[in-house]
Amino acid sequence: MDLKKYLKEKCQLVDDSLDKFLPKEDELPFSIHKAMRYSIFAGGKRVRPILMLAACEAAGGNSEGAMTAACAMEMIHTYSLIHDDLPAMDNDDFRRGKPTNHKVFGEAVAILAGDALLTEAFILLSSLEACPSIDPLMRLKVVSEISRCAGSRGMIGGQAVDMESEGKPEIDFATVQYIHTHKTGALIKASVRAGALLGGADKKSEAALVKYGEAVGLAFQIADDILDIEGTTEEIGKDAGSDQERGKATYPAAIGIAESRRRAAELVDVALDALSCFGEKADPLREIAKYIVKRKS
């Protein structure tokens, strides 16, 4: 399959839907809505929503039915990036090659824009009007999955341990693993599982897709760790080498680049093996898994 074409088409569908669901810039409060849209449309790859749509398709569903949840996931992811870039956390000046939200709008507006995106995501997830075809019980399952993976037992937990570990001379591998599987892996797994649920997957198919999501989520973060060392600022859209400068707990710092690359490739094999019970409808998921460790940005 033509992965580049697939990603471009899905990205455009997600962008069109996000534009429809988000408050417009000319709606009060202007500053918050402008800041929300600034970060949402700053050039993201839409990995999480596309994984959700692809998982839905692999399970035999229609990806249109998963679009509202996919957009909600992107809002949650973007809120996390806005807050992650703040001076109180990573204090980054650039994201996706553009000035970070707080550099453009100030810290107060950036915090509120992130809060608003998180809240807007759950307005969308719970909206009967946005997607009336979703069964109410299924909607609850999806909301529960996404909430758990975004909270203190998921992404926020990973971020907290990441900050607490920064600059420490020796971080054990178990801590690095916890950070990666929670800070990045949790939302990716949730994206895949939500797509499986919305696609009507049976228990066996759902379990297989969750296994895929767990492997791909961890591989994605390991690839990011490697890119921070080997990529350029232009390629990754932020200051290259910043993880090393801050003493971040990363895979290369814990086990070296060569072993990190080997483990990322191993995780891709795990992800592909998990899809062995699926036919060609899962080809986008297969190609995305391979792309994740080969990407340069």
Query: Is there a contact between 154 and 190 (Cβ–Cβ < 8 Å)?
Result: yes
What pLDDT, in 10s, does the model give residues 234-270? 766 666 677 788 888 899 999 999 999 999 999 999 9
Between 116 and 171, where is the model more confident? Answer: 116
**pTM across the whole model:** 0.95
Selection from 158, 186, 150 nearest residue 249 by Cα? 158
Strand partners, 94: 99
d(CA 193, CA 188): 9
What is the span of the domain harbouring residue 103?
A: 3-294
Number of domains in the chain: 1
Query: The domain spanning residue 203 has which CATH number?
Result: 1.10.600.10
Element containing residue 98 per DSSP (H, E): strand 98-99
Here the tokens at position 73 are 């996931």
**Whether the predicted pLDDT of 294 surpasses 90:** no
pLDDT (average), residues 107-123: 98
Mean pLDDT value of segment 142-168: 95
Per residue in 67-106, pLDDT (tens digit) is 999 999 999 999 999 999 999 999 999 998 899 999 999 9
